[in-house]
Amino acid sequence: MHARCLVNPELADVRAHLQSGHFFWTDLEDADPETLHQLGDLLQLHPLTIEDLQTFRQNPRFDEFEGYAYLVVYGVDPGVEAGSPLLREVHLVVSGDYVLTVHQHPIEALASVRERYQDIEMRSEQQLIYRVLDALAGTFFPVLARIDDDIDSIEDDVIERVRPESLQRIFSLKRDLVAMRRVVTPLRDVFARNAERIAELPGMEGDPRLYSRDLYDTMIRISDLVDSYRDLLSGATDMYLAQVANRQGEINKQLTIIATIFLPLTFLTGFFGQNFSFLVQGITSTWSFFVFGLGLLAASLLVFLWVFRRNRWF
């Protein structure tokens, strides 16, 4: 079978394809409410479905109505920088006569599916529906691969030098993983429970291929990767905090050594600097000043340096 792909079509085109009886795909990007109402009336959609098509930021879901199924699924935009909003919500209406996708932002994965299967013979309607859902699920993998590379880079940077920028990168990646985890787990459950029900819709041709099982396995892989990278980022955070603590410990150690070195020097100069003549009455010549005055300071300094070196404190 061939499936015609319509992008932001006129209502007359949709009506003509409905009357022809051939399966087709209608893709709407940033459609206004009036267009969605008119299209919903033409496709005889339930009023709740028409309302839901206009409401974004929903949780992944699967609702079955008379003659069609309504799905809310998610993909991501691989071109978005870390920490920026990357989720792309797509609403689907699936029946034995058509598939309708509604989204607010351009989605390259859907455009690739349209270009690839526009004039290619397909086994069944289920194959096209599977390709659409699989293309959206596949958008997670490039982002997860980028996160994997970023985690390796962050770990190398933290080991080499502790910088606040590394912590900011960790938090940006964590935001991405939290956003993906918020939709991946519900999507996994939706495909596990309801994906096979698409094949039971009226007019849907039978296809023995296990499309639903493949989608479920894909979401399992994505969910496992998200959880693994969250653990790695938690480890990177702990590594960063440990490096900061070690650095502060080294600084405190250096300051302690300096304070300890100056402690006897301060004591000697303060002791002999008291206003009592008998303390310094023996220092009446230049050589005695250098021997007893500066010599005691230098001797105490050398003794402390020898103790520090012996105990490997620096």
Give me the torsion for CA of 14, 25, 58, 85, rounded to 10°: -110
Q: 269 and 288 share a domain? A: yes
- The last residue of one of the domains, among 244, 276, 299, is 244
Of residues 258 and 280, which shows the higher confidence score?
Answer: 258
Q: 168 and 273 share a domain? A: no
pLDDT band at 129 (very low <50, low <70, confident <90, very high): confident
pLDDT band at 286 (very low <50, low <70, confident <90, very high): low
Write down the pLDDT at residue 166: 85
pLDDT band at 225 (very low <50, low <70, confident <90, very high): very high
Q: 204 and 90 share a domain? A: yes
Contacts 24+ apart (CB under 8 A), 299-303: 300/264, 300/265, 300/268, 301/261, 301/264, 301/265
Condensed to tens digits (0 to 9), the pLDDT of residues 15-32 reads 998 888 888 889 999 999
Q: Give me the sign of the Cα torsion angle 188, 124, 127, 98.
A: negative
Average pLDDT score over residue span 256-284: 65
Among the residue ranges 53-67, 168-182, 285-299, the one predicted with the least confidence is 285-299
Q: 108 and 228 share a domain? A: yes
Average pLDDT score over residue span 273-292: 62
Q: 140 and 82 share a domain? A: yes
Q: 29 and 121 share a domain? A: yes
Q: 285 and 229 share a domain? A: no
Average pLDDT score over residue span 265-271: 66
- DSSP helix/strand/coil, 92: strand
Q: 91 and 232 share a domain? A: yes
Q: 12 and 144 share a domain? A: yes
- The last residue of one of the domains, among 244, 268, 297, is 244
Q: What are phi and psi of 93, to 5 degrees?
A: -120, 120
Q: 216 and 190 share a domain? A: yes
Residue listed under structure tokens 């080294």: 250
CATH number of the structural domain spanning residue 17: 3.30.460.20
- The last residue of one of the domains, among 194, 228, 244, is 244
Q: 275 and 237 share a domain? A: no
pLDDT band at 197 (very low <50, low <70, confident <90, very high): confident
| Domain membership of residue 269 as a residue range | 251-310
Q: 278 and 238 share a domain? A: no
Of residues 282 and 21, which shows the higher confidence score?
Answer: 21
Write down the pLDDT at residue 82: 79
Alpha helices (H) along the chain: 11-20, 33-42, 47-53, 108-117, 125-138, 140-160, 164-194, 211-272, 286-288, 295-310
Q: How many domains does the chain have?
A: 2
- pLDDT exceeds 90 at position 215: no
